[in-house]
């Protein structure tokens, strides 16, 4: 009995200290695990445009050399040939899952009028055409309106053309003609490539407007 009373008195003199709950510091942001998808979005920064004076001078000098007809196809091109269209190759033009070359609407409209006549239009169903490379190689492609404002050359033929000519985005510039074949009167295209190694980015609006009449 005396031992029990002693224990009670001891507990009263020395109460058990309970650990206090630590409140969360709401002033500090909680650590959140960033998903791989969020990291990728963060890394995707818009590519800087090429606005260098050296690039402008280079392309203006290149643009002065525009032959009226594709020099590598003089024997196949008759009297009906469009004025050449020029464009910088973009990433979407050489993507394997795209299989299409995007062309400027205003320039293509002029091409069609010069070669096919004012009454002919290229719709969404398109027209099968022969496309010649600078080595004289030829492949079949579809020339069509991909959307209301986007004429394209597309299909497996374009995918093969990209591979065979080692086409590379940004540094490769194309000169494109539309013409009628001298013998068959078929609608054809000819594509010549010029590589400017110092150009590694899309052109700025300033340079595009100076070099191309109707930039894409």
Taking CA 37 as the corner, what is the angle to CA 92 and CA 94, rounded to the nearest 5 degrees? 10
pTM over 0.85: no
Q: At 160, which CATH number?
A: 2.40.330.10
Indicate if the pLDDT at residue 134 is higher than 60: yes
pLDDT band at 22 (very low <50, low <70, confident <90, very high): very low
Residue 47 forms part of a structural domain: no
- What residue numbers bound the domain in which 174 lies? 69-211
Count of structural domains within the chain: 1
Alpha-carbon span 138 to 184, nearest angstrom: 15
Q: Quote the Cα angle for 43-45-48, to 5°.
A: 145
The answer to whether position 205 is within a domain reads yes
12-31: average pLDDT: 51
Residue 106 belongs to a domain: yes
Q: Per the domain annotation, does 163 fall within a domain? A: yes
Amino acid 216: pLDDT:
54
| pLDDT band, residue 86 (cuts 50/70/90) | very high
Q: Is the pLDDT of residue 76 over 70?
A: yes
- Evaluate whether residue 87 is within a structural domain: yes
Return the residue matching tokens 């590694």.
Answer: 200
| Mean pLDDT computed over 94-121 | 88
- Whether 64 is in a domain gets the answer no
What's the whole-number mean pLDDT along residues 21-30? 50
Tens of pLDDT, residues 190-199: 999 999 999 9
Q: Is residue 34 one of the residues assigned to a domain?
A: no
Please say if the pLDDT value at position 38 is more than 90: no
Residue 146 lies in a domain: yes
Tell me, what's the pLDDT at 157? 95
Lowest mean pLDDT among 43-57, 97-111, 166-180: 43-57
- Across the chain, mean pLDDT equals 84
The more confidently predicted of residues 72 and 120 is 72
pLDDT score for 149: 80
């Amino acid at each position: 009995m005396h031992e029990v009373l002693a224990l009670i008195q001891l507990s009263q003199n020395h109460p058990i200290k309970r650990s206090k709950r630590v409140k969360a510091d709401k002033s500090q942001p909680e650590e959140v695990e960033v998903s791989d998808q969020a990291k990728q979005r963060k890394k995707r920064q818009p590519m800087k445009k090429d606005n260098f004076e050296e690039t402008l001078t280079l392309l203006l000098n290149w643009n002065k050399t525009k032959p009226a007809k594709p020099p590598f196809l003089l024997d196949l091109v008759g009297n009906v040939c469009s004025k050449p269209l020029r464009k910088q190759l973009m990433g979407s033009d050489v993507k394997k899952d795209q299989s299409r070359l995007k062309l400027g609407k205003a320039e293509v409209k002029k091409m069609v009028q010069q070669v096919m006549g004012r009454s002919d239009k290229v719709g969404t169903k398109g027209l099968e055409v022969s496309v010649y490379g600078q080595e004289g190689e030829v492949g079949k492609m579809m020339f069509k309106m991909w959307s209301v404002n986007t004429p394209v050359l597309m299909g497996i033929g374009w995918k093969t053309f990209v591979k065979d000519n080692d086409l590379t985005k940004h540094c490769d510039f194309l000169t494109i003609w539309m013409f009628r074949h001298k013998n068959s009167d078929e609608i054809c295209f000819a594509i010549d490539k010029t590589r400017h190694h110092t150009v590694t980015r899309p052109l700025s609006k300033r340079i595009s407007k100076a070099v191309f009449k109707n930039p894409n």
